[in-house]
């Protein structure tokens, strides 16, 4: 009688390969689903264009920071933005400043009024004034960028009796109460945006200005701005 002999040597490798393929397919499906979920939750960055001007005339009235939203495909709440400025002093020190809003601590002081810089003017700002007690709706973080919205600040001034920047010919490019203007946790609007030593900037110097869209983590504006005389 002949005995039939069964061999599993050819079966085991095939089964092993098939199991590996199944595991690989399952892992790939999980990874793909996870990546798709991340892509679905990440917000798209708005498409917008801006124009920025920075001036330092040595006096308060004509030393300004101005960032104009020229166009945007969607309204952009400033609470979703970071404003980043960076420049290099003559001694090589890099000055970098980051502003987010709204803040529980006002970063700017103008007389008896504290607010978050830069102030908003025009479309997307519910209520605004050009001087005096600025409205809460003007604080950075409280207004929305639309075509025509202007983000703006000037150096603190008015008269020598009240302190301020370059309020007399003998105090050009300096504050009457020292090298900076600070009251408690608040400071001058130009200092708040450009850093404490901003007054060292002169015409022709370069300041890098960025707007970062926080939900998408994308830079929507990045420009090297040449400082003007004012």
Convert the pLDDT of each residue in 166-224 to its tens digit.
Answer: 888 888 998 876 666 665 566 888 999 999 899 999 999 999 999 999 999 999 999 99
Query: What is the C-alpha separation between 189 and 110, in angstroms, rounded?
Result: 8
**Residues 75-105: b if buried by 16+ CB within 10 A, e if exposed:** ebbbebbbbbbbbeeeeeeebebebbbeeee
Contact between residue 38 and residue 58 where contact means Cβ atoms under 8 Å apart: no
| pTM value surpassing 0.85 | no
Convert the pLDDT of each residue in 32-57 to its tens digit.
Answer: 554 444 444 568 999 999 999 999 99
């Amino acid at each position: 009688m002949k005995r039939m002999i069964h061999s599993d040597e050819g079966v085991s490798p095939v089964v092993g390969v098939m199991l590996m393929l199944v595991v690989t397919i399952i892992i790939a499906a999980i990874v793909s689903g996870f990546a798709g979920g991340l892509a679905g939750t990440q917000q798209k960055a708005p498409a917008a264009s801006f124009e920025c001007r920075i001036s330092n005339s040595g006096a308060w009235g004509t030393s300004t920071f101005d960032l104009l939203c020229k166009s945007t495909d969607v309204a952009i709440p400033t609470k979703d933005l970071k404003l980043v400025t960076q420049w290099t002093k003559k001694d090589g020190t890099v000055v970098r400043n980051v502003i987010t809003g709204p803040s529980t601590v006002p970063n700017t002081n103008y007389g008896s009024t504290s607010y978050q810089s830069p102030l908003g003017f025009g479309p997307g700002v519910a209520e605004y004034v050009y001087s005096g007690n600025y409205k809460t709706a003007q604080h950075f973080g409280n207004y929305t960028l639309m075509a025509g919205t202007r983000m703006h600040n000037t150096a603190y001034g008015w008269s020598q009796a009240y302190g301020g920047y370059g309020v007399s010919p003998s105090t050009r490019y300096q504050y009457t109460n020292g090298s900076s203007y600070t009251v408690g946790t608040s400071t001058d609007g130009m200092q708040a945006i450009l850093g404490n030593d901003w007054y060292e900037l002169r015409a022709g110097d370069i300041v890098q200005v960025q707007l970062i869209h926080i939900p998408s983590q994308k830079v929507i504006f990045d420009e090297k701005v040449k400082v003007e005389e004012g």
